[in-house]
């Protein structure tokens, strides 16, 4: 009898097509789910008969309460090598091996620039007008060359975003609580003297920080009030870093020129959520890591992880 493997949040129904699952076809039956389970009861019921689960990034939490309701689960594979929503101690206690996969930082870098450029040049507004027979030119674009890009975070993704900004002729500066002058020099950007100075002096601000106790709510109403009325904010990192209600208020009041978001407090975003109709907002449904090459990497590595686990030598263990 074959083991059962569930693949979660396969919204595009590509998980079994974009990678070769044939190496485990004789021993594993794969079932994909193209919808998100909104509560633990529904998720526990759906996964009750599965020994293997493949989950995408941090879109589904696996707390101790859920793991206790999955007695058949033996292997949990998360795409990427960092996952903060899995209770590793509980997984170990329930005999669940947790593994990760390689992941590329290129897709979120590229999406960051798609959002930033879309905001700067009013791409969506102008596109919609062309398609609908609306006004011919209704916006005046914001230049990148000579303007300041402020980065909150200068890790792997932030550094690559910085390099693109420099190529556009932007003045790039960065700040984070642990950022050093040596790291800023290494990337070729300025070290902002403070978070407040970076926010007040930047024409574009992009968030590239990990979510933790020190970064949760880092940008609240007081911080957003420091932004220029002509400034744009982009967040492709984690939603909770920016206070969602404060950002909504700033957008509705026109206190900033616009925002680009790829991450939200609740995902998928409910149909009646106020962000869906917020002015000055360019939003994408958490596409940061969603690219053909990255998905091929995730699911090919998931197959490798299953093979290795079946052989008794798990790969890329997490926790």
Q: Which of these is catalytic: 147, 148, 160, 286?
A: 286
Taking the C-alpha atoms of residue 99 and residue 77, their distance in angstroms, rounded to an integer, is 5
Instruction: Indicate the Cα dihedral angle 308, 292, 85, 97, nearest 10°.
Output: -10
Taking the C-alpha atoms of residue 237 and residue 57, their distance in angstroms, rounded to an integer, is 12
DSSP three-state, residue 157: helix
**238 classed as catalytic:** yes
**273 classed as catalytic:** no
User: Considering only CA atoms, which of 74, 71, 27, 237 is closest in space to residue 152?
Assistant: 237
Count of Cβ atoms closer than 10 Å to residue 130 Cβ: 12
Compute the 3-state secondary structure of the chain and give helix, strand, coil in percent, each to the nearest 5.
35, 15, 50
Taking the C-alpha atoms of residue 40 and residue 187, their distance in angstroms, rounded to an integer, is 43
> Sign of dihedral through CA atoms 181, 184, 188, 189?
negative
Q: Which of these is catalytic: 58, 255, 267, 273?
A: 267
**Which residue in this structure is represented by tokens 């968030």?**
207
By residue count, the chain amounts to 319
Give, in degrees to the nearest 5, the angle at Cα 94 between 27 and 308. Answer: 35
**186 classed as catalytic:** no
Q: Which of these is catalytic: 147, 160, 208, 238?
A: 238
Q: Which residues are catalytic?
A: 238, 267, 286
């Amino acid at each position: 009898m074959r083991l059962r493997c569930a693949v979660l949040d396969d919204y595009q129904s590509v998980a079994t097509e974009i990678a070769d699952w044939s190496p485990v076809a004789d021993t594993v039956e794969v079932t994909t789910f193209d919808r998100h389970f909104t509560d633990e009861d529904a998720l526990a019921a759906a996964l009750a008969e599965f020994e293997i689960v493949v989950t995408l990034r941090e879109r589904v939490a696996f707390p101790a309460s859920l793991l206790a309701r999955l007695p058949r689960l033996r292997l949990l594979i998360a795409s990427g090598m960092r996952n903060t929503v899995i209770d590793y101690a509980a997984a170990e206690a329930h005999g669940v091996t947790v593994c990760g996969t390689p992941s590329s930082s290129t897709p979120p870098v590229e999406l960051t620039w798609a959002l930033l450029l879309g905001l700067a040049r009013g791409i969506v507004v102008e596109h919609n007008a062309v398609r609908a027979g609306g006004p011919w030119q209704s916006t005046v674009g914001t230049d990148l060359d000579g303007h300041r890009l402020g980065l909150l975070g200068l890790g792997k993704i932030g550094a690559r975003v910085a390099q693109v900004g420099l190529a556009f002729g932007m003045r790039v500066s960065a700040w984070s609580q642990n950022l050093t002058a040596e790291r800023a020099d290494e990337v070729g950007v300025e070290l902002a003297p403070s978070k407040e100075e970076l926010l007040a002096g930047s024409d574009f601000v992009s968030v590239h920080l990990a979510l933790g106790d020190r970064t949760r709510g880092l940008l609240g109403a007081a911080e957003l009030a420091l932004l220029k009325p002509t400034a744009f904010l982009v967040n492709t990192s984690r939603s909770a870093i920016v206070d969602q209600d404060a950002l909504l208020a700033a957008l509705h009041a026109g206190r900033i020129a616009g925002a680009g978001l790829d991450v939200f407090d609740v995902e998928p975003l409910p149909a009646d959520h106020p962000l869906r109709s917020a002015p000055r907002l360019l939003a994408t449904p958490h596409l940061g890591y969603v690219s053909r090459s990255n998905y091929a990497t995730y699911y090919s590595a998931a197959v490798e992880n299953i093979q290795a686990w079946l052989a008794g030598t798990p790969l890329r263990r997490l926790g």
